Structure formats: structure tokens, C-alpha cells
Amino acid sequence: MSAEYQYIVRIVGNDIPGERKMIVGLTQIRGVGYMFANTILSVLKINPNQRIGYLSQEQIKSIEDIVKNPSTSNFPSWFLNRRKDVETGEDKHLITSDIAFTVRNDIEREKTSGSWRGIRHMFGLKVRGQRTRCTGRKGGAVGVAKGGKVAPGAPGAPGAPGAPSAEGEATTEVAEGAEGTAEKKDAPAAEKKDAPAAAKKDAPAAAKKDAPAAEKKK
């Protein structure tokens, strides 16, 4: 271990705080998990509970070499995260930005080939056989729209105390509509019938009143 303490240790482009333990600090590298980091420390004979800030430059370089190419340290193939690559057929271990780049290329290749996985990716659905009935939903809520009915038991709801029944309301509305229609129909007829009768009744009375007055003047 180095006697000089480093507050920031840079490994494979990642800045790791020096106060972290070895095994925890190495897992901050994307593509390096807990078991992978433990195996690296076992191969290099480094204490996993030691602070990572005490690493020497030679040890940092050795860790980077193993992370970039684990096959040089006789790592088993099942330990790698990219076995039998589609393009090269080799066993690789991807780290940092190579992981996202490779996954994106794989998805695009599936979409282009028109495979079932590619179609599921195109529609944003689950690909690995997960259930979709109650999870994985996106967008707005899906369901039956409310019809504007009042909740049962609420004031003014049908069947609530003091609330008129639906049949009573309908009967009242029909009766009111019928009365209004009858008034409209009867009004002109009544006016027509009453007008001549009133004229006939008033005409003789007016004639009798005016006759004596005319004779006196003569």
C-alpha cells in the first residue's frame, strides 16, 4: 500500500472518493459488481476492507488492466457480461459507456430484423415475459368514464331522504310540459271565440244609448 493518501482515486475514468473501502469503491465502476470486484482484489492480494485512497499507482494500473481485459487473469467466461458477441463471437466484459452503446445497438438490430423482441421494444412493452396486466402501464388512466351520477346516499341522490324519486320527477316534468303546451294552444282559440261575442253584446247597448240623444237634438 502507498503511504501517501489520495482523496480522489481515478480508475478507468471514474473518480472514486479515497475514504471508500476497496470492494465498495470498485463497484462504482459501471460494469464491475460486488463479486467481480472481490475477485479482482483476491487475484491482486489486496485487502478489501482497506481504504481505496492508499492504493499505489502500480496497483491502480493492475486493477485497470484486469477490468479492461479479465481474460488475461484467467477469469472464467461465465464471469463476463458479454459472452459470444454477435459480431465477433468472442467473450467480452463491457464497462462504462460501452455497455449503453452495445445495448442500444442490440435493440436497433432487433427492431430492424422484425423479431418479436424488436416489436415489443418498438411499442415500449415488456420483453422478457413479465406480466403486463397490472404493471408496465404508461400514459393516462384507463377505465370506464363516469356518467355524472350522484353517489348513493348523497344529498339529492335518488333514494336519499327528502329527495324526489326519479319517477316523480319525470311525471312532474311531463305534467308541466303538457300544461304549457295546452296554454299555448288554448290562448289563440279563446281570443278568437271571445272577440266576436263581446262585439255583439256591446253593439246594441251602445246603439240604444246614442239613439235618444240624437232625437232630442233634432
**In which element (H, E) is residue 31 found?**
none
d(CA 170, CA 215): 68
Q: Please check whether residue 55 is in contact with residue 6, taking contact to mean a CB–CB distance below 8 angstroms.
A: yes
Residue 214 has pLDDT above 70, yes or no: no
Kindly compute the dihedral angle of the four CA atoms of residues 97, 101, 107, 108, in this order, to the nearest 10 degrees.
160
Q: Please check whether residue 101 is in contact with residue 37, taking contact to mean a CB–CB distance below 8 angstroms.
A: no
pLDDT tens figures, 153-211: 655 555 555 555 545 454 555 455 555 555 555 555 555 555 555 555 555 555 555 55
Residue 72 has pLDDT above 90, yes or no: no
d(CA 59, CA 10): 12
Residue 200: C-alpha distances to residues 26, 116, 130, 191 (Å): 118, 97, 95, 15
Cell of 96: 462504462
pTM, full prediction:
0.57
Percent of the chain that is helix, strand, coil (3-state, to 5): 50, 5, 40
Domains of the chain with bracketed CATH: 8-76 (1.10.8.50)
